[in-house]
Amino acid sequence: MWLAKVRESYGDNLQIAWRPFFLSQMNNKEGSEWKAWEQEETPTLGLLALRAGEAARRQGTKAFETFQLSLLKARHEDRKDLSDENVIMESAQASGLDMARFREDLADKSIIKDLGESHTHSVEEYGVFGVPTFIFPNGTSAFVKTYNPPEEEAVEMFESIINVMGKWNHIGEVKRPQPPWPKGVFS
């Protein structure tokens, strides 16, 4: 959600290409043949929320970004269950989506194929294993585990990530020992 502040600051000078990715696929214990996008929805799968995101994307970038921010807030601030269709519909309505079109697109089974292809591409092309993963113009990628910074620090933190991970290809991993992290993050 802190990236919304960054996006607001940069305006059209920053492109964020949000792509669907299944954490449930990466964390599955069923083996490589099991595909999250081929399963029935469960509270930990994420299929409904990802399908909804793609349905919103069909209404344009602005509609998608507004809807995605609404889902992120519902999940991470309000602790709502994104496998609950009522939560999805409330977010869609609050985001100003064309609800008839949204429902129609949400029911479109081709979205599921697109979700699987997006996930597979992210893993094979960029080595994605978690979110958020940043993909830089030079083709390198970096998973960056963060807590939401204070709003006034969001842009500076983003620029620091870009400056370090986007430039220095020989940095493979930076990890804070736990504990004490996230010492000092929460008051």
CATH number at residue 150: 3.40.30
Number of structural domains (the chain) is 1
Band of the pLDDT at 187, cuts 50, 70, 90?
low
Q: Is residue 174 part of a domain?
A: no
Indicate the length of the chain as a whole number: 187
pLDDT > 90? residue 41: no
CB-based burial of residue 55 (10 Å sphere; 0-12 exposed, 13-18 middle, 19+ buried)?
Answer: buried
- Angle subtended by helix axes 110-126 and 47-57, to nearest 10: 100
Is 51 among the domain residues? yes
Residue 184 counted as domain residue: no
Residue 130 lies in a domain: yes
Q: Does residue 139 sit within a domain?
A: yes
- pTM of the predicted model, to two decimals? 0.87
Domain range spanning residue 83? Answer: 2-165
In a domain, 182, yes or no: no
| Whole-number Å distance between alpha carbons of 164 and 6 | 17
Give domain status of residue 176, yes or no.
no
pLDDT in tens, 87-131: 999 999 999 999 999 999 999 999 999 999 999 999 999 999 999
Domain membership flag for residue 185: no
Residue 184 has pLDDT above 80, yes or no: no
- DSSP secondary structure code for residue 153 in this structure: G
Residue 146 tokens, joined: 């963060």
> What's the CA gap between 71 and 91, in Å, rounded?
6
Tell me how far apart the alpha carbons of residues 112 and 167 are, in angstroms, rounded to a whole number: 35
